[in-house]
A and B are shown apart, each in its own frame.
Chain A
Amino acid sequence: MVRRPFFVAVAAVTAMFAAACGNVASSSSSGGETPPGITDDQITIGATLPLTGTAAVSGQGLQAGMKIAVDELNAAGGIGGRKINLVILDDGFTADRVVTNVRRLVSQDKVYAVVAPAGSQGLPGTWQFIAQNGTPVWGPISPADPKQREVFLLSASRATQGRVAIDYFAKQGITKIAVIKQDNDLGVSMKQALDLQLPKHPEMQLVADETQPVGSTEVSVAVNNVLAKQPEAVLLATDNTSVALILKALRAQGFTGPIYADQGGGGTGGPSTVGPAGDAAEGFIAGMQADVVSTDNPAVEHWRELAKKYDGEQGESGFSLQTYSFVMAFAELVKRLGDDLSYDNFVKTAENLRNDPIKLGTIPDIECGPLPDGHDCVISAGLAKYTGGKWVVEQQFTAPE
């Protein structure tokens, strides 16, 4: 009685192996074959974004920029005659859903490329899978550079922004800096920036290095410890709420030196940080990945026109400009691929951008090169200052020393 199912099982397994081995057997993807997501009149791209959860504000901005760009491109006939089909999935700002979503985009929705995915700490969990499939990841939002064939970073990483800020402070003659960071990827990026840039300014000293607990509104410990060391400038690597609270606490205690945070923590161009900080935000300096601040840049004004008409949340935020630019750059690259849309040609053409950069005007020129370091395609960041109730450009896009 027990034997028969066993035989049935063996027979079934054997049959299945014979019939469908192709689905399971590992085939080294040569990259030369026709990539997925391409038909004669359509190209499918996708992203996973935190449309809900604690990072929903940024997620909605990122989504807005992609939709604005896709609508504009499709209205003009798409990319080389192919209309863009955009698939956006929500990850609720949780790591395991970022991983699940990227798998869904690649193996179920069959995207040609993953464009401008966010998800902060979750993205590194997708790199191994991406490497196995060869799907390009064009412009992921602010992860550390995995130095990988498929992944191209299009905006100054947090570490790069931090390095630019350290150079800027050094130029101002500041010699004593302090850091308040969170113990997560934000803190890791700040540490990288300090490790790379402090040796280049021997006169500069890190006098205090404090950790702010994630989610706590109690910032006085870190602030008091920093002030006790009497720094001339303070660099922050924390989320919006903490940046706003620390700004308030530092100013309330009479600190008058410059305070810096990156584009995410500072909410450059928007009110997400300076709004809650109130008067304490005067003179605050924040990193700038896309030029959302200036009012005389024609490329930015063109986006602003479109963003005003966008039907949805956060259309005019800095996040929107960022992904708008990434999609536009993607369209430009695909145009340059010509008829050969294979991933090999994608990578080759992208790595050749160093000789012929994509110049959009809204973000620094995109100049990808070969690995190991070439996929960090934008190595300059700007700095913006909040003064008199509005953001102004403090320093144009500059590469760190």
Chain B
Amino acid sequence: MLQTIVSGLESGSWFALLGLAIVVVMKAADVPNFAMAEMGLVATYVGISLAAAGVPFWIAVLATLITGAVIGVLIDIALMRRLSSYGHFPLLLMTIGLTLALNAVVGLIWGHDPRSFPAPWTGAAVQIGGGVAIGVSQIVSIIVGLIGAVAITAFFRTQVGAQMRAVAENRSTARLIGVSAGRLSAIAWAVGGFIAAVTVMLQAQSALVSTLSPASLIIYGFVAATMGGFTSLLGTFVGGLALGVIQQFVGAYISSAVQFSVALLVVFLVLILRPEGFTKGMVLRDV
């Protein structure tokens, strides 16, 4: 029971973080980024390679995070910005093309075998009464997830964050009051890439990642983002955690074959009943 909850919170943290990355980019740049998990994968593989080459763990971690942010900025400047005036469809397709290309690049450079990013605590476990053991890497995922959510919320309370909100609400008004939409969208993409790198890195220190794993991670990230109505940070975070826990319980007490269907059912219900996300009205000042 406890093990089920912890496992659920662990994967839920990954879903929640990736959902947050999607929401941040969505708010500032109005793009549903299907390439988010692949961006994190590229950054994580850079870190894995550095660590394998003998670079100290924490420096490799730092390099991973910076890579994630840099990839985000590059994508924004080189590809996304110029498309924004053409409407939704080319933007959506561009992120899909990016997904294919990044995935293929990873396959070409690092191959398709699964890999892990071993941390000093990987494999260690904390014994809890009753013979239940909880992996340290699980606890790390959950705590980092929490920190990430708090940090992003704090970020949106800064001046830059407030401007981003203004842009999200109305582009032309934002321009009138002298906000550079370009700079803001670059920042949003950097933050998005950063969080994506954190997410996939957490997955890699606890489980395995490969060119196969982003496909399912991104869907759960989108489910989490949907639960927050693509705007609410709190809704996305809580939604992601809930999704992880629900899946574990469905798997444990109903059937492991229907876990994915349940996630889809959640999306459907949220969109039909509360398309604005289920926290609307609860948190007014939330972004």
Q: Could you tell me which A residues sit within 8 Å of B by CB distance? A: 52, 54-57, 183, 210-213, 215-222, 224-225, 239-241, 244-245, 252-253, 271-272, 275-276, 278
Contact = CB atoms under 8 A, between A and B. Distances in A.
B207 A217 contact: yes
Interface string B195-213: 0000000010001111111
A219 B207 CA distance: 9
Interface stretch (B87-95, B146-154, B180-188, B249-257): B249-257
Interface in B208-234: 208-213, 215-217
Interface in B239-283: 247-248, 251-252, 255-257, 259-260
B256 A222 contact: yes
B260 to A, nearest CB: 5
B163 interface: no
Given A215-B212, A217-B209, A224-B3, A275 B113 contact: yes
A252 B259 contact: no
Interface of B: 3-4, 7, 11, 104, 107, 111-116, 123, 125, 133, 135, 203, 207-213, 215-217, 247-248, 251-252, 255-257, 259-260
B133 A253 contact: yes
Given A52-B104, A57-B113, 4 more contacts: A55-B112, A217-B207, A224-B252, A276-B208
B4 A224 contact: yes
Contacts of B260: 213, 216
Nearest to B206: A217
Contacts of A225: 251-252, 256
B2 to A, nearest CB: 11
Which of A183, A213, A244 counts the most B-chain CB atoms under 10 A from its CB? A213
B107 A241 contact: no
A173 B42 CA distance: 47
B255 A217 contact: no
A54 B210 CA distance: 9
A211 B256 CA distance: 5
Contact of B259 (A213, A217, A239, A253): A213
A220 B251 CA distance: 9
B34 to A, nearest CB: 15
B113 to A, nearest CB: 5
